[in-house]
Structure 1
Amino acid sequence: MTVQQSEREFLKSDPGQEPVIVEGLFRANPARVFRAFTEPNEVQSWFVPKSGGLVSVDIDLKVGGKWCFVIEKTQEKQIHFEGEYLAIDAPNRLEFSWRHVQEFADGTREATDTSQVAITFTEAGKATEVKLRHEAIKSEDARRGVGGGWNGCFRRLDEIVST
């Protein structure tokens, strides 16, 4: 029995464990997979694992540059992920900080503590091995959510870069 792409399991760490480890082999070269993580129109196509997509994607791809992926935006609030780039070695490595944020119409803001994501892109024949490590997530529940989120995102990423 073969595993369908949509059923592939990319989460390698136990759910809720620190750090969250997600790995996959993608049928594309490292430059193509790296672009999927760093170009707004590419990120828009795979980042949210559920149906639908992001409201907007802003990327300033330089060390110290900021990124922001808006998940939901209403008159009452905006929910997004944000951070800044800590290391960029295209197409081999990418590191950035990460926060989940809710901003409300009254100007108040709720944000998680900052965590860190490190991703390597390694050529493996005609494919690319991607290893993602997301660490410094404070709670087990948050780690479970992040792990499930990255797993779903990698499923969509696999569909996008492999076509």
Structure 2
Amino acid sequence: MTVQQQPQAFLKSNPGQEPVLVEGLFRADPGRVFRAFTEPDEVRCWFVPKSGGLVSAEIDLQVGGRWCFVIEKTAEKQIHFEGEYLAIEAPNRLEFSWRHVQEYADGTREATDTSRVSVTFTEVGKATEVKLRHEAIKTEDARRGVGGGWNGCFGRLADLVVPRNG
């Protein structure tokens, strides 16, 4: 079996390990990267690890405020991530709860147990080091999925926040 290192560029924890640790150095100031995490128009551009974007992003950026990122919406069901903001220290720190939810047209709802995401934004010269810790994910398979998802999202985030003029 061949081990591929490239897809693991931002994922620092072993796949499936608790907690999921993702880190990246982005060529932008902390305020710019923080905005990418907290403004709906920005989040829609990078939050999905594959091509395309979110169907919608709603953010109530205050402690206790809710967020909801819809990744798929059809007549039969909606798939989204949701949670509440637990700590906000712009532009240096963000913490929020996290659930993966499927809602069906008949009103039934399936949601994962709540996990927790902590993100720090630290200025390093002319760049920002982002450290993300996603913890309390119940199963190894879910941790693998979350780790792969964050890894892909960080790649798209890097493309979004790099200054246009070099």
Give the distance between the partners of 1:89 and 1:52, measured in 2 at CA: 30
1:9-88 superposed matches below 5 A: 9-88=9-88
Unaligned runs of 5+ in 1: 1-5
Tell me, what secondary structure is at the counterpart of 1:157? helix
Query: Do 2:7 and 2:151's aligned partners in 1 also have CA atoms closer than 8 Å?
Result: no
Query: Do 2:94 and 2:118's aligned partners in 1 also have CA atoms closer than 8 Å?
Result: yes
TM-score (norm 2): 0.93
> Partner letter of residue 26 of structure 1?
F
Size of the aligned set, in residue pairs, is 158
Query: Do 1:82 and 1:100's aligned partners in 2 also have CA atoms closer than 8 Å?
Result: yes
Give the distance between the partners of 1:38 and 1:11, measured in 2 at CA: 21
- Deviating beyond 6 angstroms after TM superposition, the runs of 4 or more aligned structure 1 residues are none
Give the distance between the partners of 1:88 and 1:36, measured in 2 at CA: 14
Query: Do 1:116 and 1:134's aligned partners in 2 also have CA atoms closer than 8 Å?
Result: yes
> Partner letter of residue 31 of structure 2?
A
1:107-122 superposed matches below 5 A: 107-122=107-122
**Superposed displacement of residue 8, structure 1:** 7.0
C-alpha distance after superposition, 1:59-116 (max 9, x if no partner): 0000000000000000100000000000000000000000000000000000000000
Percent identity among equivalent residues? 82
Tell me, what secondary structure is at the counterpart of 2:16? coil
Alignment partner, residue 90 of structure 1 = 90
Alignment partner, residue 99 of structure 1 = 99
* CA RMSD across the alignment: 1.0
Query: Do 1:11 and 1:21's aligned partners in 2 also have CA atoms closer than 8 Å?
Result: yes
TM-score (norm 1): 0.95
Tell me, what secondary structure is at the counterpart of 1:34? helix
Unaligned runs of 5+ in 2: 1-5
> Partner letter of residue 19 of structure 2?
P
**Superposed displacement of residue 52, structure 1:** 1.1
Query: Do 1:8 and 1:155's aligned partners in 2 also have CA atoms closer than 8 Å?
Result: no
Give the distance between the partners of 1:54 and 1:16, measured in 2 at CA: 25
**Superposed displacement of residue 51, structure 1:** 1.0
